[in-house]
Amino acid sequence: MKFKIVTPERIMVETEADSLTLPTTMGEITVLPHHIPLVASLVAGEISYKHGGKSDFFAVSGGIIEVKKNNEVVVLADTAEFGHEIDVERAEAAKEAARKLMTEGARDQKTYAGAAAVFQKHLTRLKVAHKHRSHKGTKING
């Protein structure tokens, strides 16, 4: 399949893929060749893809996926980062700030929901950074 992910800043990936796993509002889905056409909303999470026995992954904060009938998948992501691009210290600090707001500062449901979304985004970023570094032999605490 042709696979492309685009953010407002750049074309992040444009490659061939044997399979893609994506986080959507319907849950995590895997797209294989000859998948039915589909449009779905992405949520914060990890996208992984495999090609030729190798896999790669990155964090996204949300967006839209379109699976076209001609074996083409296009992801329009709000933000996307490969593991090596993630500043672990900043992501950890942002995650902790969101956790603190959720437990101590959220005065209403809207504030709590916003803090929970930020917490999940940075938790995903840390997971992807950890996976990248563990594949490269670098340890991360957390």
Reduced to 3 states, what is the DSSP secondary structure of residue 36?
Answer: coil
Note the pLDDT tens digit of each residue in 49-86: 999 888 888 889 889 999 999 999 999 999 888 877 77
Where are the CATH 2.60.15.10 domain residues in the chain? 2-82
Please tell me the least confidently modeled range out of 7-11, 66-70, 133-137: 133-137
Task: Give the relative orientation of helices 109-136 and 88-100 as an angle to the nearest 10 degrees.
Answer: 150
The pLDDT of residue 85 is 79
The pLDDT of residue 134 is 67
Return phi, psi of residue 6, to 5°.
-125, 135
More confident residue, 26 or 112: 26
C-alpha to C-alpha distances, 33 to 16, 17, 55, 87, 97, nearest whole angstrom: 11, 9, 16, 34, 41
- Percent of the chain at pLDDT above 70? 92
**In the CATH scheme, what is the code of domain 2-82?**
2.60.15.10
**In the CATH scheme, what is the code of domain 87-136?**
1.20.5
Residues 19, 96: Cα–Cα separation, whole Å: 34
The whole-model pTM stands at: 0.71
Where are the CATH 1.20.5 domain residues in the chain? 87-136
